[in-house]
């Protein structure tokens, strides 16, 4: 994996309706709106009608890319959609998804969440075979590989492609006749199946199924491929049995709290992480607050476990993007200042515990300690419901250079001093696992440096906050 490669955190959505009346694009639009937290740089929807795939995609939020008129031009009974975040260098329309390929035997559209660890090798092979690329995205490797194998029939083309690619993927693929979903053999990125009337949904998070009034059916298993067409829904496991390694950061921060991933509800996991944090590192305080939004469930848990009163304390402007995914340091610092403000009357003269989901660069934490103290907090204690992030992610999450990960090379006490806090503690790795289901089966790579599958080398230039 080269340092210049894309590292994405994305959301995928697919829907297949059994009648020609249902407007799949509108349903995909609402599905994508509820996945907006997974990527805010580009959005796209592809639909199939009369064996033709039409696609619209552009830079911007879902609501900016699609207005009523745009949706009117996307009529069809099945659709796939995508929201994408990318690093600064690759933030171009060329890399927006879904990718569509039209060839002699048919058309396909692919939407992908994840990162392939062997994309360079596969791209080179395809280029040597005369296949051209229009983007730098590894997701285009998948669409070209499926197109190349299509003469073998859809099922064989998909299994051949999927057996060839390595890394993390939650894929939804639209063909002239079917909607297909696939999840990588370790299930690193989430994918679930839902039902709407007689139609079917495949999507990154269950909140998107709820958003369109559907019913959650089940998670797609690691290494499972599901094909949905007019006649049937069938699935099979395409990989050899490998250990499940769902991204633990999904529960810490990425996913919406109203989603359930692999039978663990995200909100419940966050509350439990806070309770465990309280058990592991309680401090005498008058008030516990959470950094909105993802720190709030954990603050409720911490308060319960330690008998500390829970309050709001910090207000967040909902209309500023996540600092985690603002591409430049200056943008991030400005976004942090605009984003959070303190409710002075709640804070003044109190010993405050502030709970955050994670600390990556430290920009947000430093700012929050400073504004809480300025607002009259007597003491500010930071508690974090994930372990220190010390290593990059190779599986679809954009992390900063390792040197910019504030926990890399700094002890907890050095870090506490640098953030200006009165005390600092992180939940342990064991505590994080306990907050999930306590059984394991999670990727913890960015906390421990131990990855579920080999990464193609740490280039020091990779990748989150
Ligand atoms: S390395 Fe971290 S962010 Fe990446 S998949 Fe694993 S747990 Fe998730």
Ligand 1 atom closest to the CA of 389, numbered from 1: 2
Ligand 1 centroid – CA 43 distance (Å): 23
**CA 72 – CA 23 distance, rounded (Å):** 9
Q: Which residue CA neighbors atom 5 of ligand 1 most closely?
A: 247
pLDDT at 456: 62
Ligand 1 centroid – CA 117 distance (Å): 14
Ligand 1 centroid – CA 229 distance (Å): 33
Burial category of 413 from C-beta neighbours within 10 Å (exposed 0-12, middle 13-18, buried 19 and up): exposed
Pocket of ligand 1 (CB under 6 A): 188, 247-249, 393, 395, 397, 443-446
Active site residue 10: yes
**CA 361 – CA 294 distance, rounded (Å):** 17
Ligand 1 centroid – CA 280 distance (Å): 23
pLDDT at 89: 42
Cβ distance 261 to 253 under 8 Å?
no
Taking the CA atoms of residue 283, residue 284, residue 286 and residue 290 in that order, the dihedral angle to the nearest 10 degrees is 0
**CA 193 – CA 154 distance, rounded (Å):** 20
**CA 269 – CA 439 distance, rounded (Å):** 13
pLDDT at 196: 96
**CA 459 – CA 229 distance, rounded (Å):** 43
Q: Among 182, 81, 200, 184, which residue's Cα sits nearest to residue 396?
A: 184
pLDDT at 338: 78
Residue 20 phi, psi dihedral angles, 5° rounding: -90, -5
pLDDT at 138: 85
Ligand 1 centroid – CA 464 distance (Å): 10
Q: Which residue CA neighbors atom 8 of ligand 1 most closely?
A: 247
Catalytic residue among 10, 17, 192, 416: 10
Give pTM, 2 decimals: 0.90
Among 446, 455, 458, which residue has the most ligand 1 atoms within 8 Å of its CB, making it the best to mutate? Answer: 446
**What string of pLDDT tens digits covers the 465 residues of the chain?**
233 222 347 999 999 998 877 899 999 999 999 999 999 889 999 999 888 999 999 999 999 999 999 999 999 999 999 999 864 446 688 889 999 998 888 899 999 999 898 989 999 999 998 888 888 888 889 999 998 888 888 888 988 999 899 999 999 999 999 999 999 999 999 999 999 999 999 999 999 999 999 999 999 999 999 999 999 999 999 988 889 999 999 999 999 999 999 999 999 999 999 999 999 999 999 999 999 988 999 999 999 999 999 999 999 887 765 554 555 666 666 666 778 899 999 999 999 999 999 998 888 899 999 999 999 999 999 999 999 999 988 887 877 777 778 888 889 999 999 999 999 999 999 999 999 987 889 999 999 999 998 876 544 333 332
**CA 34 – CA 278 distance, rounded (Å):** 32
Beta bridge partners of 170: 113, 183
pLDDT at 439: 81
Ligand 1 atom closest to the CA of 248, numbered from 1: 7
Whether residue 428 is preceded by a cis peptide bond, meaning omega within 30 degrees of 0, is no
Among 247, 441, 456, which residue has the most ligand 1 atoms within 8 Å of its CB, making it the best to mutate? Answer: 247
Q: Among 135, 130, 133, 162, which residue's Cα sits nearest to residue 146?
A: 162
């Amino acid at each position: 994996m080269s340092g210049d490669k894309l590292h994405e955190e994305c959301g995928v959505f697919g829907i297949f309706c059994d009648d020609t009346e249902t407007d799949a694009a509108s349903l995909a639009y609402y599905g994508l709106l509820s996945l907006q937290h997974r990527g805010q740089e580009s959005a796209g929807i592809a639909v199939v009608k009369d064996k033709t795939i039409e696609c619209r995609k552009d830079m911007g939020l879902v609501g900016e890319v699609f207005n009523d008129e745009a949706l009117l031009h996307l009529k069809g009974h099945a659709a796939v959609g995508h929201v994408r975040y990318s690093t600064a260098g690759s933030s171009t329309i060329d890399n927006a998804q879904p990718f569509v390929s039209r060839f002699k035997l048919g058309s396909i559209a692919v939407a992908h969440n994840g990162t392939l660890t062997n994309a360079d090798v596969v791209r080179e092979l395809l280029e040597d075979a005369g296949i051209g690329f229009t983007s730098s995205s590894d997701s285009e490797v998948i669409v070209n590989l499926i197109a190349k194998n299509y003469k073998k029939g859809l099922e064989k083309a998909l299994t051949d492609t999927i057996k060839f690619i390595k890394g993390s993927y939650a894929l939804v693929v639209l063909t002239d006749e079917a909607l297909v979903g696939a999840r990588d053999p370790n299930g690193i990125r989430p994918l679930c199946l839902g039902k709407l009337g007689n139609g079917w949904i495949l999507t990154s998070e269950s909140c998107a199924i709820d958003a369109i009034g559907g019913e959650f059916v089940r998670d797609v298993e690691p290494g499972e491929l599901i094909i949905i067409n007019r006649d049937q829904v069938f699935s099979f496991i395409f990989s050899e049995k490998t250990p499940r390694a769902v991204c633990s950061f999904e529960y810490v921060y990425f996913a919406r709290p109203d989603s359930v991933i692999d039978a663990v509800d995200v909100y419940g996991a966050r509350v439990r992480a806070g309770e465990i944090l309280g058990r592991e590192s309680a401090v005498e305080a008058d008030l516990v607050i959470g950094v909105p939004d993802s720190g709030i469930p954990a603050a409720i848990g911490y308060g319960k476990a330690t008998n500390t009163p829970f309050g709001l304390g910090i207000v967040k402007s909902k209309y500023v993007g996540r600092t985690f995914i603002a591409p430049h340091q200056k943008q991030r610092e400005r976004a942090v200042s605009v984003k959070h403000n303190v409710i002075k009357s709640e804070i003044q003269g109190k010993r405050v515990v502030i709970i955050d989901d994670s600390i990556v660069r430290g920009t947000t934490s430093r700012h929050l300690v400073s504004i809480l103290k300025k607002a009259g907090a007597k003491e500010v204690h930071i508690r974090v419901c994930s372990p220190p992030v010390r290593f990059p992610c190779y599986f679809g999450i954009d992390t900063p250079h390792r040197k910019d990960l504030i926990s890399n090379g700094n002890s907890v006490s050095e870090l506490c001093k640098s953030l200006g806090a009165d005390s600092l503690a992180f939940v342990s790795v064991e505590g994080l696992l306990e907050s999930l289901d306590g059984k394991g089966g999670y990727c913890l790579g960015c906390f421990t440096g131990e990855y579920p599958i080999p990464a193609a080398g740490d280039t020091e230039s990779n990748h989150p906050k």
